[in-house]
Structure 1
Amino acid sequence: MPANFETERLYLRALIEEDAPSIFKYRSSKDNFPFVEMPLYRSVDEAYSYIRKMNEGMQLDAWYCYAIVLKETDEIIGTISIWNFDDERTQAEIGYGLFEDFKRKGYMSEALNWAVEYGFSELGLTKLEAYTSVENEASILLLERNGFKKEKVVMDDMAGTGTPVAMGVYFIDKYLGSAMKIVAITGAGSGLGRELSFVYAKNNYHVVLLGRTVEKLNEVTKIIESSGGEATPIVCDITDVKSVIQAVTGIEVRFKSIDVLINNAGYGAFGELESLEDKDIDLMIDTNIRGTINATKYFMPHIRERIINIISTAGLKGKVNESVYCASKYAVRGFTESLQLELKDRLDVTAVYMGGMATPFWDNSDHIKDKLRLKSAKDVAQAIYDLDDGRAVIEV
């Protein structure tokens, strides 16, 4: 039987009898299959039979069915399979299912990336297909975000109930390459922007790194490329319209367009209003407000899918010693909410609200007394990616 595997947060292993209650709970509820008429289990014995059948098939190399197990708790949270091989064993189908409590956390994306790599590098496959209901927007987004392309729509009775449903057929080809999407991130050289760059690159995005310091951008590029990802560093000062236009022109020449713009760059200075230096006030207004507007305005004609504005909880309520910073973030909130109305039939626009993070943002400030209570930028970046599905608001 194939060996066990692991990813950053998951174990992939063969099903065991102890998984039967969880499998039964999942397969016995119609709520878990809103788009297809799956035969529902009526007793846990059916789950035991399923586990035995899957493992017998794995012994014969007829298919590969793995439990998706959360490292943190060692509990099964879903399954992923490679099966339905063609006669030459160069093509196969991927199937997957995730328990409800673990959806929208990026776990299935992590498992799917592993399965594609395993299929191509270990099983010698050149093409993988996945079938999903044309109404299952979450599954379609999962596949597209991980490099699958839509091939066709078929009427398929995949559950064997006698009732065919419209299924989208998606594929990824080893030699044609994946449909890698492109995300441009401002302030990508440090802090949250740096971590967002790593997360999106890890999930099959080509990351356009925008920032003012070429050394930092090159460092992030090197790390991404050393992990097998793709990145393009572009020096850009979002407070300078000419610099933004030059960056857009460079992207247009190379990529024609991008899928996502993440307005992440920001600046903060804290203290009582009378104590703030005029240059710091100007920099907050220029970076947080004008910079966000500049990037959005000039990138917008070249964006295919969505805009994400990193605002922070300073855009939700006033805070002591943050008067100008909050004012700038309230402005970005108003800008974002207005764009959501203005672009509702064209692009998705998302507002992200999160608290303080342990980043270089606070290096020269004593505004935060206990920095140990701050969330890590890595965790916040992962949460943003996991929830990035075009919704209006992400709260971390």
Structure 2
Amino acid sequence: MDLGLKGRVVMITGAGMGIGRETALTFAREGARVGIVDIHGDDAEETAAAIREAGGEAIASRCDLTNEEEVKASVGSILAKYGQINVLVNNAGISKDVTLLKMAEADWDLVMDVNVKGTFHCCRAVLPQMKDRKWGRIINLGSRSMFGNPGQTNYTASKMAIVGFSRALSLEQARNGITVNTVAPGFIETEGIKGLPTYPKLREIALSKNPVGFLGEPRDIANTVAFLASEQARYITGTTVFVTGGRFSS
């Protein structure tokens, strides 16, 4: 299937590593031009360099998504280079896991600021020029954790907020040819997850609860995001796509 992404300009947050990096590489293979945005500037540049070395087009910028001015600057750099942003992928997110009674207010605020406010900032910065062109795709990353995991009240709240935000925004922008959807990954074997000291136990638990009998990889999320960004998905908006191997419970 031709996704029709050749020549499109895609902005991806948190694309310096993990799911974001694989998503950026996937779009580049489809012929899209990619703006890599990450709070870790060196990681962002590594992803952009990998795309360019493979013959694609990409630029990188360091950005703290909780800072509206930095978001505007990153968006501005992509627009200055490519003249437009057709697809926005709000992938960046963090977790600060601890039970509620032990949770510092700062841990609540940081997770909500990065995961929710960062999405808000990026959408506000990108939407006007999408609206002018009467075409756009916004894909926000949620999580299976939206259904609740112990020790993740802040993260769960942020990901459930993303679903409601996406649904409301999809209704606001449908008349402008802009679709807004959420992709909710399950347990995905990123390099970051594999590097955790608890990884063997986490993997064992995830496998025991996964109906398909194997765990997801970054490409499973990247391929879903790329499809939702395509013209083939023009009639899909305001929905949440679960990429979990059939697992929903904690």
TM-score norm. by structure 1 comes to 0.53
| Mapped contact 1:235–1:247 kept (Cα < 8 A) | yes
Deviation, 1:366, is 4.2
Amino acid paired to 1:395: F
| Mapped contact 1:252–1:302 kept (Cα < 8 A) | no
| Mapped contact 2:139–2:228 kept (Cα < 8 A) | no
> Is the alpha carbon distance of 1:201 and 1:254 closer, same or farther for their aligned partners in structure 2, counting shifts above 3 Å?
same
Deviation, 1:351, is 1.3
Deviation, 1:257, is 1.6
> Is the alpha carbon distance of 1:239 and 1:300 closer, same or farther for their aligned partners in structure 2, counting shifts above 3 Å?
same
- Alignment match, 2:203: 371
2:165 counterpart of 1:335: yes
| Mapped contact 2:31–2:56 kept (Cα < 8 A) | yes
Pairwise mapping of residues 16-31 of structure 1 onto structure 2 (< 5 A)?
Answer: none
Which is helix-richer, 1 or 2?
2
The more displaced of 384-393 and 249-258 is: 384-393
- Alignment match, 1:309: 140
Pairwise mapping of residues 135-154 of structure 1 onto structure 2 (< 5 A)?
Answer: 142=3, 144-145=4-5, 147=6
Q: SS in structure 2 opposite 1:324?
A: helix
2:69 counterpart of 1:237: no
The more displaced of 374-383 and 222-231 is: 374-383
Aligned residues: 222
Determine which of 94, 103, 124 is the counterpart of 1:276. 103
Pairwise mapping of residues 111-260 of structure 1 onto structure 2 (< 5 A)?
Answer: 142=3, 144-145=4-5, 147=6, 180-260=7-87
Deviation, 1:387, is 4.6
| Mapped contact 1:244–1:295 kept (Cα < 8 A) | yes
| Mapped contact 2:59–2:78 kept (Cα < 8 A) | no
- Alignment match, 2:246: none
Query: Quick check: which has more Rg, 1 or 2?
Result: 1
2:242 counterpart of 1:395: yes
Distance 1:340 1:386 in 2: 17
> Is the alpha carbon distance of 1:187 and 1:280 closer, same or farther for their aligned partners in structure 2, counting shifts above 3 Å?
same
2:209 counterpart of 1:382: no
User: Percent of aligned pairs with the same residue?
Assistant: 31
- Alignment match, 2:211: none
| Mapped contact 1:268–1:361 kept (Cα < 8 A) | no
Structure 1 residue runs of 5 or longer lacking an equivalent are 1-107, 110-141, 148-179
Determine which of 169, 190, 193 is the counterpart of 1:359. 190
Alignment root-mean-square deviation, CA: 2.1
Deviation, 1:263, is 0.5
The more displaced of 230-239 and 358-367 is: 358-367
| Mapped contact 1:308–1:349 kept (Cα < 8 A) | yes
Determine which of 152, 175, 196 is the counterpart of 1:345. 175
Structure 2 residue runs of 5 or longer lacking an equivalent are 208-214, 244-250
Q: SS in structure 1 opposite 2:98?
A: coil
Amino acid paired to 1:289: V
- Alignment match, 1:170: none
TM-score norm. by structure 2 comes to 0.81
Which is strand-richer, 1 or 2?
1
